[in-house]
Amino acid sequence: MTEIDIRSQQEFTGPGTAGVLMFLGGPILSGIAWSEMMGVTYGSLTGYWLTIWLGAFASQLGIVFMLVGRKYNHEVTVHPAKQQQQPFKLGERAEWS
């Protein structure tokens, strides 16, 4: 029987690495903005809300970038089948030991 060995490797390209940073950094940015917003009792909160939404959007966009920004390398090795001697020919009786 022929044996086939396949070795695969995945790497992030530039957009994939940016996606990882956005996926991890988005929630951190939103959390910092939320924490700062909770300490403010006066003034406009628009900047905080925009920062929270920007972090959420960056996190979602990061997932897409991670899926798109990948590079795959595959190494395929085919080992040919070995010639095996048939235990008996058609019409012959098998010898059991």
How far is residue 48's CA from residue 45's CA, in Å, rounded to a whole number?
A: 5
Q: Which residues, other chains included, contact 49 with Cβ-Cβ below 8 Å and sequence gap of 6+?
A: 37
pLDDT tens-digit readout, 27-75:
999 999 999 888 887 888 899 999 999 999 999 999 999 999 999 999 9
Give all strands (DSSP E) within the chain, no chain letters.
Answer: 3-12, 70-79
Look at residues 9, 14, 11 and name the one whose alpha carbon lies nearest to residue 65: 14
Mean pLDDT of the chain: 88
Distance of CA 85 to the CA centre of its chain: 45
Amino acid at 29: L
Q: What was the pLDDT predicted at 54?
A: 96
Q: How confident is the model at residue 2 (pLDDT cuts 50, 70, 90)?
A: confident
CA 62, CA 78: separation in Å to the nearest integer?
38
pTM: 0.66
